[in-house]
Amino acid sequence: MKILVFGGTRFFGKQLVEALIDAEHDVTIATRGKQEHPFGDKVRTVVLNRTLRDDVFRIANEKWDVVYDNICYSPQEASYAVSAFKDKVKRYIFTSSKAVYRNKDRELTESDFEPSTYEIIHGSKDDFDYGEGKRLAEAVFFQKATFPVVAVRFPIVLGEADYTERLEFHIEHIRRGKEIAITHEHAATDFILDQEAARFLKWVGTETDVTGPINASSDGSYTLQKIIEIIESKVARKCKLEFIADQEDNSPFDIPGTNTLNTAKAKEAGFEFENLEDWFPKLVDTLIQSGK
């Protein structure tokens, strides 16, 4: 297949490109060119700015079997893609987020946010918070696109290459005896490993005819208390907790209520998710050993 990847030089986007190369697809990476990549002549690299209309139309001069869009954060950027790729792409895979859901305290199904009826408000990335930007981008894709679209709704993605270092925050605070500020230690949430996220994207884009929103998350969930206990056992230190909001030391995993993704749609289509307990403790070990 001839495949275009917007944003394929770091984290799970990079791992997606590796998986596509291994499957012998013809891959082009569209990037600003700020991040080096190890793919050499195994891919074609096009330098562009995803937020600029003319750049999106330039890459859409060609026809594509699949386009992966990992760096669309606003209705404006989605609108550029909808117009540019009309009659130019067979499948469009948009990396969305669990953040589109407003519901809390329960398991979330795809129907809990319906982009096909969500009112479109136009604007750029700077006009909205992260969740609203993703909601509006989905709304544009599912109301305006003339080509098949998949919106992959991921929870927090973790891995050795996670540049946000959210898990490392907890490891370092506990290892150094620094306080972690939390307000909801018993609220549970789910995660997905970067390698699994990449595997899911490859699968849904090149091995299925699935369309529409789809949840993707490892099986299982952890409370913040459980995450802290896992780290405590591995660094042999107790965590110092501060049960008030503190912007500097507040846990990135501190959520107001339990909410997890229902992944029945993906499983019914044939995808098998890993179990959180099989990879999370191992990732903590790896990060501790690497000194990150």
Determine the residue type at 1: M
pLDDT of residue 227: 97
pLDDT of residue 246: 61
Percent of the chain with pLDDT over 90: 86
Q: What is the arithmetic mean of pLDDT over 71-84?
A: 98
Rounded Cα distance between 122 and 136, Å, is 8
**144 Cβ partners below 8 Å, 6+ apart?**
78, 79, 82
Q: 65 and 1 in contact (C-beta within 8 Å)?
A: yes
Rounded Cα distance between 233 and 96, Å, is 34
> Which of 47-51, 103-107, 120-124, 139-143 is least confident?
103-107
Please, what are the domains in the chain? Answer: 2-156+192-215 (3.40.50.720), 159-190+221-257+275-290 (3.90.25.10)
Q: What is the arithmetic mean of pLDDT over 153-164?
A: 96
pLDDT of residue 242: 82
Rounded Cα distance between 31 and 8, Å, is 7
Q: What is the arithmetic mean of pLDDT over 52-57?
A: 98
**pLDDT reading at 174 higher than 60:** yes
At 270, phi and psi to the nearest 5? 115, 5
- Structure tokens of 211? 């369309």
Triad 100, 139, 150: Cα angle to 5°: 80
Percent of the chain with pLDDT over 70: 98
- Structure tokens of 272? 């098998």
> Which of 29-43, 138-152, 166-180, 199-213 is least confident?
29-43
**113 Cβ partners below 8 Å, 6+ apart?**
100, 101, 102, 135, 138, 213
CA 264 to the chain's CA centroid: 18
pLDDT of residue 257: 87
**pLDDT reading at 291 higher than 80:** no
pLDDT of residue 36: 82
* Token pair 């291994």: residue: 22
Q: 200 and 13 in contact (C-beta within 8 Å)?
A: no
Neighbouring-strand partners of residue 260: 107
pLDDT of residue 141: 99
CA atoms within 13 A on the CB side of 3: 24
Triad 1, 115, 202: Cα angle to 5°: 25
**pLDDT reading at 245 higher than 70:** no
**pLDDT reading at 292 higher than 60:** no
**pLDDT reading at 193 higher than 90:** yes
